[in-house]
Amino acid sequence: MIRFISLLVTIPVIVVIAAFAYRNAQLVKIDFFTSEYQIPLAVIILLSILIGGILGFVLNLFIIIKQKNKIRQMAKQRQALTGLSNILKTDK
């Protein structure tokens, strides 16, 4: 069932991307310092979106790793404080 739903979503996305590429097929000159390239506008836009998505994913991955380390550190502190609290309760 999930494959069918995935297929229902994927096919329209591919059709939209193909239509977008067809409508934006005109060549655009990209001028680097030492060389020039003529690339279709759709390729430039799709590559920009892809690179932006990858950069966003990588940056979020670093943030998630940092948060997990902080959670692990706080769990250790909580465990130490719970142990200390239990010791103080038994002294009464």
**What is the predicted pLDDT for the residue at 90?**
76
**What is the predicted pLDDT for the residue at 89?**
80
Is the distance from CB of 46 to CB of 21 less than 8 angstroms?
A: yes
**What is the predicted pLDDT for the residue at 91?**
61
Residue 27 has φ and ψ, to the nearest 5°, of -80, 140
DSSP H helices in 1-92: 2-23, 41-90
**What is the predicted pLDDT for the residue at 83?**
85
Is the distance from CB of 55 to CB of 68 less than 8 angstroms?
A: no
What is the total count of domains within the chain?
1
* Stretches in the chain below the pLDDT threshold 70: 91-92
Containing structural domain, residue 63 = 2-90
**What is the predicted pLDDT for the residue at 24?**
87
Is the distance from CB of 46 to CB of 17 less than 8 angstroms?
A: yes
Distance, CA of 12 to chain centre = 22
**What is the predicted pLDDT for the residue at 88?**
79
**Which secondary-structure segment (H or E) carries 40?**
strand 36-40
pTM summary value:
0.63
Cα separations (Å) of 48 from 10, 18, 44, 58, 61?
21, 17, 6, 15, 20
